[in-house]
Amino acid sequence: MATRTTGAPEQVEQARELVEMSWDPITRIIGNLGIYTKIDFKNREVVECKSTSSLFRGYSVFMKGKDPRDAHFITSRICGICGDNHAVCSIYAQNMAYGVKPPPLAEWIINLGEAAEYMFDHTLFQDNLVFVDYCEQMVKETNPGLLRTAETTEAPNAGIHGYRTIADIMRAFNPFSGELYRQALQVSRITREMCCLMEGRHVHPSTLYPGGVGTVATPQVFTDYLSRLLNVLDFVKKAVPMNDDIFEFFYAALPGYEEVGRRRVMLGCWGSFQDPDAVDYQYKNMNDWGRKMFVTPGIVLDGELRTTNLVDINLGMRILLGSSYYEDWQSEETFVSHDPLGNPVDQRHPWNQTTLPKPQKRELDGGNYSWVMSPRWFDSRTGDHLALDTGGGPLARLWSTALAGLVDTGTVRATGHSVEINLPKSREFGEMQLEWQIPRWANTIERNRARAYFVAYAAAMAVHFVEQAMGEVRAGRTKVFSDFDVPDEAIGCGFHEAVRGVLSHHMVIRDGKIANYHPYPPTPWNASPRDMYGTPGPYEDAVQGLPIFEENGPDNFRGIDIMRTVRSFDPCLPCGVHMYLGGGKVLKQVHSPTFGTGVSG
Amino acid sequence: MTKKPSSLRIGRRDTRPDSPSHVKGVKEGNATGNYEKMDGHLPDGRSTAGRSTGINPRKHDPIDPDMPNLSPA
């Protein structure tokens, strides 16, 4: 709910009448995100925006001293919706540290589980949470004129999805009662089952380990997965054209809507779905096997692909402070001075970060105001610290994959300017080809549209992965894990895509225990506050300068355009900061250490 | 574990941060050489019914040696 924090409008030097409006917490997301804005209602524009998080968790603090083999089980608990992404990313980092390469079948099983996760999470978020902002009830409250237009606008793809007008689509979005809303809940159940078949459990996998998986690869496991996938394909084939219809309608009915949530194209994607033929988890070969991933890692800058090299991506990472509740770690220990290729590693790189929390009062005017730090990517060509965003995940993934033009599995082909997605025949529909074209803008609508296409991408990839996995099983190659020993000293890094964007885990092992561990999920990138150079984070940047299309005035302002923009990034604050300082009463304390911990180790 | 300086007031810890870590000398399931010791897992990555049952496993292998040996879970 919007809160108006100042009674009288504030006068600034340009004689603009600014009204402070805040939404804290923003609902329909996980965690405590607050958006504080100054709005010029006369000129219908958001003038200033600050994004804050009041949630601190401390993973990088309490991971120290743990057994590195527990890392994926512990870090999976960072998130209650994409925990398996964290587990997988941690496993990638551990594989590098232990020098182990899992058998091919294990990689296909992890890819299948992650594909199911993308389908599950994107469907749940898009259809049950994002579309509430585009549903009949909401549009009636915020833009009644737009709803009247929607009632008389035919949906171009009605022949596929069955909704005659745009307003019919909006009615299907209505929470709890809308047809699509309820169908999406069913789909998210089926896709969760698919994830469980491969990873044992959702959302904290029980059968994924460094070195492989514990999933017993029987033909039945894969046919159970495939039969569910074919049901999901029917839903996907309807959903993508319907998403196109609703978003094209917004562009047409509200001229200028492309400016909502628009920011410079600065997208980061860390790659997803390993290719077992290429990946050996060795840092020195990371550029080669990174480029073979089935979602190409890359940094897209102003529409051009800046790099696809994971080593460059890794070395460019900088964790800045500026508006966050932490003390600087510049004078703390340097854990990794050079990477295994001999390149220097910055003190602000996650490998060398020491988290020193400093709780304090929130000061939105020139002070510190968030528990989120400010991750940036250092562009060595320009010397800029770029506030990359993930485009909610899919926008960056599709953009980077499309431009790189490396992926070609038959079911998915990157063309250099688009991504072709070929979906096989399913129960209701024949074969269908979908093509995601690189959009003209990185804005709210395109972030949301890409999400629908990425569900199709993950489904098409899953078809390929099932075929590959079945090929291994039919050849009798059922090995799913490789042995390894935990070294006394090692470093590792894992790069993956959480559902809502870039995910990296950086680990330093000393004396067989974790000496330093830093997970960097997508939301620290997206929700970051102003850094030491004054650069705003992506939410702030996307909302500042946002034109207001809502028909309500200041008195009953819902802030729908701002909400649509923030939600288009798929915000997930438990990702954002990783303390509980309350003096609670301990009712019962049970400590069950690993066998033999009484003996000094 | 070295203690990092911080202005943050925190309580006394009642367990060492590395308590749940591995204790030297305890067997590890992931250790190299374990794969070879397990029944039913062949060196070339294939497996036999021995990985699923210890009761007459050979009787559960496929009747045609050219068939893939896919033991149940």
Mean pLDDT of A340-367: 94
Nearest C-alpha in A relative to B36: A483
Q: Which residues 19-48 on chain B approach chain A with CB closer than 8 angstroms?
A: 19-26, 28, 30-35, 41, 44-47
Q: C-alpha angle A38/A40/A45, rounded to 5°?
A: 95
* A171 domain-assigned: yes
For residue B32, give the chain A residue with the closest CA. Answer: A483
pLDDT at residue A551 greater than cutoff 60: yes
pLDDT tens string A384-396: 999 999 999 999 9
Distance CA A106, CA A274 (A): 11
pLDDT in tens, A125-172: 999 999 999 999 999 999 999 999 999 999 999 999 999 999 999 999
A572 part of a folded domain: yes
Whole-number Å distance between alpha carbons of B22 and A485: 12
Chain B residue whose CA is closest to A210: B30
B69 to chain A nearest CA, in Å? 6
- Does a structural domain hold residue A594? no
Across the interface, whether the CB atoms of B22 and A594 are under 8 A apart is answered yes
> In this structure, is residue A597 part of a structural domain?
no
Residue A426 phi/psi, 5-degree rounding, is -130, -170
Q: What is the mean pLDDT of residues A489-494?
A: 98
For the stretch A263-275, what's the b/e string if a residue is b when 16 or more beta carbons lie within 10 angstroms of its beta carbon? bebbbbbbbbbbb
Question: Which chain A residues are within 8 Å of B21, Cβ to Cβ?
Answer: 65-67, 512-513, 594, 601
The answer to whether the CB atoms of A601 and B69 lie below 8 A apart is no
| A476/B70 CB distance under 8 A | yes
Q: Which domain holds residue A549?
A: 2-576
Residue A447 scores a pLDDT above 70: yes
Name every chain B residue with its beta carbon within 8 A of the beta carbon of A221.
73
| A600 lies in some domain | no
**pLDDT tens per residue across span A234-286:** 999 999 999 999 999 999 999 999 999 999 999 999 999 999 999 999 999 99
Which helix (H) or strand (E) segment holds residue A399: the answer is helix A394-404
Separation CA A175–CA A179 (nearest Å): 9
Among A7-11, A68-72, A562-566, where is mean pLDDT lowest?
Answer: A7-11
Reference A50, options A475, A485, A364; nearest CA is A364
pLDDT digits (tens, 9 = 90+) for A307-327: 999 999 999 999 999 999 999
- Torsion angle of alpha carbons A536, A539, A541, A545, nearest 10°? -140
Mutate which of B3, B4, B60 to disrupt the A interface (most A C-beta within 10 Å)?
B4
Chain B contact for A341 (CB, 8 A cutoff) = no
Domain assignment of residue A378, yes or no: yes
Q: How many domains does chain A have?
A: 1
Residue A57 belongs to domain with CATH number = 1.10.645.10
A601 domain residue, yes or no: no
In A81-178, alpha helices (H): 83-98, 104-123, 136-142, 144-152, 158-161, 166-173
Q: The tokens of A409 are what?
A: 């599995």
The string of pLDDT tens digits covering residues A174-233 is 999 999 999 999 999 999 999 999 999 999 999 999 999 999 999 999 999 999 999 999
- Average pLDDT, stretch A62-83? 93
Residue A463: inside a domain:
yes
pLDDT above 90 for B9? no
The overall longest dimension of chain A from CA atoms, in Å, is: 76
pTM of the predicted model, to two decimals? 0.93
Check CB contact of A475 with chain B, cutoff 8 Å: yes
Secondary structure class of A152 (helix, strand, coil): helix
- Chain B residues touching residue A359 (CB < 8 angstroms): 8
If you ran DSSP here, which 8-state letter would residue B4 be given? P
